[in-house]
Amino acid sequence: MTEQADLHLEIAEAMTEVAASLQAPMELEETLAVITRVAAETIPGIVEASISITTKEGRIETLAPTGPRVTRADHLQYELGEGPCLHAALEEPVVAVNDLANDPRWPDFGPKAAALGFGSQVAFQFRAAPHVRGALNLYAQEPNSIDQDSIHLGSMFAGQIAVAMGWARQDQTLTEALATRNIIGQAVGIVMERYKLDSDRAFAFLTRLSQTSNTKLNVIAAALVEQSNEASRR
């Protein structure tokens, strides 16, 4: 088996574990811990992960850290008022830093993160209406460890966190998909009936299928509805 095939198998197995965590009767805290752990174990180069959330009262805190080192890195950003996870949670949808020690955007946090043993970092925003926001934070040990594969895979895990929390991922593909909510609604109904799921988990199923197959959600939904219609005509 090739290295690329091994990676695809590892990712598929990891996504299956995360999907199972959404199905099982687990507490939210436990589900989020599964997602951050699997993200850190699966995404090449990533060694630690955490979730930052803000509150309506303006506080920010860390959930489901994979270890004490990442908790310290998160809290440094909160204390200093700068850093990728803070910037992603409050402003930009995706914030990637390939050289924490020398990035001029984070003159105070960057060297302190490097002293903790982190070389690069990427953070992904998601939000809940009306004011609560959060970010998935992924830390790499070496500089220049964040590439397009890291961003694509990290975005998938961020989407799963948003689903688990009942939040909406700030993603253009999702925004476009919601414009075709009628066909998606039909697909959700089909999945609910076929797999005996509630509507939230049926939608989570479709989003996972979209992410893992790299196919837009509305395309997945349309194909499922067409397949169901063909079966009913037979």
Structure confidence at residue 76 as a pLDDT band (50, 70, 90): very high
Length of the chain: 234
**Is the pLDDT reported for residue 171 higher than 90?**
no
Least confident of 49-53, 143-147, 171-175, 208-212: 171-175
User: Do residues 150 and 46 make contact, with C-beta atoms less than 8 angstroms apart?
Assistant: yes
**Is the pLDDT reported for residue 173 higher than 50?**
no
Least confident of 32-41, 50-59, 115-124, 154-163: 154-163
Highest mean pLDDT among 71-85, 155-169, 197-211: 71-85
Task: Give CA–CA dist 93/100, Å, rounded.
Answer: 19
- Percentages helix, strand, coil for the chain (3-state, rounded to 5) are 60, 15, 25
User: Do residues 20 and 11 make contact, with C-beta atoms less than 8 angstroms apart?
Assistant: no
Residue 155, pLDDT score: 82
Return mean pLDDT, the chain.
80
Residue 30, pLDDT score: 81
Is the N-terminal amide bond of 44 cis, ω within 30° of 0?
no
**Is the pLDDT reported for residue 90 higher than 90?**
no
Residue 64, pLDDT score: 95
Phi first, then psi: what are they for 33, rounded to 5°? -65, -40
User: Do residues 167 and 127 make contact, with C-beta atoms less than 8 angstroms apart?
Assistant: yes
Residue 57, pLDDT score: 76
Residue 96 corresponds to which tokens in the numbers above?
């990637």
Task: Give CA–CA dist 194/125, Å, rounded.
Answer: 32
CA distances from 191 to 201, 214, 225 (A): 9, 19, 10
Share of the chain above pLDDT 90, in %: 34
pTM of the model: 0.66
pLDDT single digits (tens) 11-56: 556 656 665 655 555 677 887 888 898 889 878 899 999 999 987 7
Residue 162 corresponds to which tokens in the numbers above?
């948003």
Place of tokens 């895979």: 153
Task: Give CA–CA dist 120/70, Å, rounded.
Answer: 12
Structure confidence at residue 172 as a pLDDT band (50, 70, 90): very low
Q: Which residue from 29, 31, 53, 47 is spatially nearest to 135, judged by alpha carbons?
A: 53
User: Do residues 158 and 126 make contact, with C-beta atoms less than 8 angstroms apart?
Assistant: yes
pLDDT single digits (tens) 181-208: 567 778 878 888 887 877 667 777 777 6
Structure confidence at residue 95 as a pLDDT band (50, 70, 90): very high
Share of the chain above pLDDT 70, in %: 74
**Is the pLDDT reported for residue 123 higher than 90?**
yes
**Is the pLDDT reported for residue 79 higher than 70?**
yes
Residue 2, pLDDT score: 60
Rg value, the chain, Cα:
18
